[in-house]
């Protein structure tokens, strides 16, 4: 089976292909995951800087649109490449490219299309016809959690004949490491040491996380919270909250933006991963934490339920409920240790690691091909 994974999003920074592969590591991880399952994978990435790169058995083509802002599907280079590739399945990253998906379907009308959600939202009313026409061209749509399809169903945006798959949009190459070594390298400490990786914004809800940590300190006086973040519109509010509470002042550490490789070291050094998100497509930080064996204590939202097996590892707590978070941290602290890390990593290997993701996507591709085949050529399955 030959699958073309296509990303229509154009990097506004116009970075070179090699730099993009280093920065957009999920693009590489998902492609190589399927390649590890024995399938032929080609990635086509819209880019104002063109080039071709071979990596881990996958060919990455960076193809420019005819002009900035023009749809990639109208590019002569893209159309020539598509004819040369003759893929069996087209896997499109993102749900928000209705015009391009519709044009892609016109270019390859017999090739099944799988759309994969990447934290997409239900579009505004004036964009829904375009969105709906793109979705109508898809044979299947993948969400991290099946429940994430419901808002789109309620808006009547999903075609009734499209198959819905529950598959994570990402995996991670992070691995566990020696805790003591990682703590020495990072300076991270605490009993337990709790790590939060996420923006300081309303969706990530850092103020509730701080209140939950404050509640947990009553029974866990040596707990320390370490926060890595990128964008930080709530930084002033967070700093004020910490400054007004002596217990938090002594135990909360704002690290700001850190390099990706350092995140892996911090996760190896920590005991617990906490996240206060109200909404996620599929949290890359949560997947990375689980890859290192870090126990998750995350909000009870569809993607977190799907990624943790409905709390089979770690703990889930209701969004915005600091009391529940404090209780979850206290309960989790009693379970920590090497066995807990091994259990989380084993769950990751079974459900979220590259080979597992590759098997799930390969099964989805095969299902779409089976549905596409004429009835007389279909193989009966039990």
Q: Compute the Cα dihedral for 83, 87, 92, 98 and give only its sign.
A: positive
Q: What are phi and psi of 182, to 5 degrees?
A: -65, -35
State both tokens at 164. 């819905």
* Alpha carbon distance 100, 104 (integer Å): 6
Q: pLDDT, tens digit, for every residue of 309-331?
A: 999 999 999 999 999 999 999 99
**Mean pLDDT lowest for which of 64-68, 302-306, 350-354?**
64-68
We find that the CATH architecture of domain 179-352 is 3-Layer(aba) Sandwich (3.40)
State both tokens at 6. 């296509």
At 298, which helix (H) or strand (E)?
strand 295-299
Are 292 and 267 in contact by the 8 Å Cβ rule? The answer is yes
Does the pLDDT at position 3 exceed 80?
yes
* Alpha carbon distance 322, 103 (integer Å): 48
Query: The tokens 């990253």 sit on which residue?
Result: 93
Q: Residue 76 burial (CB < 10 Å; 0-12/13-18/19+)?
A: exposed
At 372, which helix (H) or strand (E)?
helix 354-372
* Alpha carbon distance 4, 142 (integer Å): 16
In percent, how much of the chain has pLDDT > 90?
Answer: 83
Task: Give the count of beta carbons closer than 10 Å to the beta carbon of residue 13.
Answer: 10
Q: pLDDT, tens digit, for every residue of 217-274?
A: 999 999 999 999 999 999 999 999 999 999 999 999 999 999 999 999 999 999 999 9
HSE (side-chain half, CA atoms, 13 Å) at 357: 24
pTM equals: 0.91
Q: pLDDT, tens digit, for every residue of 197-213?
A: 999 999 999 999 999 99
Does the pLDDT at position 174 exceed 50?
yes
Q: pLDDT, tens digit, for every residue of 349-381?
A: 999 999 999 999 999 999 999 987 654 443 333
Does the pLDDT at position 336 exceed 70?
yes
CATH 3.40.50.2000, the chain: domain bounds: 2-166, 179-352
In 3D, which of 225, 277, 229, 268 has the Cα closest to residue 249? 225
Task: Determine the CATH number of domain 2-166.
Answer: 3.40.50.2000
Measuring CA to CA, how many Å separate 62 from each of 43, 90, 217? 8, 16, 51
């Amino acid at each position: 089976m030959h699958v073309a994974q296509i990303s229509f999003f154009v990097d506004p920074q116009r970075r070179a292909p090699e730099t993009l592969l280093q920065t957009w590591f999920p693009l590489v991880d998902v492609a190589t995951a399927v390649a590890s399952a024995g399938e032929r994978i080609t990635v086509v990435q819209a880019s104002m800087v063109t080039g071709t790169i071979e990596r881990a058995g996958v060919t990455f083509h960076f193809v420019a649109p005819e002009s900035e802002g023009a749809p990639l599907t109208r590019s002569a280079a893209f159309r020539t490449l598509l004819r040369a590739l003759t893929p069996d399945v087209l896997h499109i990253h993102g749900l928000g490219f209705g015009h391009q998906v519709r044009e892609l379907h016109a270019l390859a009308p017999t090739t099944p299309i799988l759309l994969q959600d990447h934290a997409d939202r239900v579009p505004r009313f004036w964009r829904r016809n375009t969105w709906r026409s793109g979705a109508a061209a898809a044979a299947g749509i993948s969400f991290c959690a099946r429940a994430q399809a419901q808002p789109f169903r309620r808006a009547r945006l999903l075609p009734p004949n499209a198959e819905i798959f529950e598959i994570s949009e990402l995996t991670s190459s992070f691995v566990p490491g020696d805790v003591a070594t990682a703590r020495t390298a990072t300076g991270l400490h605490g009993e337990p040491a709790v790590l939060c990786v996420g923006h300081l914004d309303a969706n990530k809800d850092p103020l509730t996380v701080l209140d939950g940590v404050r509640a947990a300190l009553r029974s866990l006086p040596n707990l320390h919270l370490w926060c890595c973040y990128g964008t930080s519109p709530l930084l002033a509010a967070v700093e004020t909250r910490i400054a007004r509470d002596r217990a938090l002042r002594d135990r909360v550490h704002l690290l700001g933006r850190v390099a990706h490789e350092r995140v892996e070291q911090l996760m190896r050094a920590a005991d617990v991963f906490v996240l206060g998100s109200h909404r996620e497509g599929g949290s890359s930080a949560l997947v990375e934490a689980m890859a290192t064996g870090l126990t998750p204590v995350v909000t009870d939202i569809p993607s977190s339920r799907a990624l943790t097996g409905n709390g089979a590892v770690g703990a889930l707590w209701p969004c915005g409920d600091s009391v529940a978070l404090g209780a979850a941290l206290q309960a989790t602290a009693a379970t920590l240790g090497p066995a807990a890390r091994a259990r989380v990593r084993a769950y990751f290997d079974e459900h979220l690691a590259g080979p597992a993701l590759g098997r799930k996507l390969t099964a989805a591709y095969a299902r779409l091909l089976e549905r596409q085949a004429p009835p007389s050529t279909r193989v009966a399955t039990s």
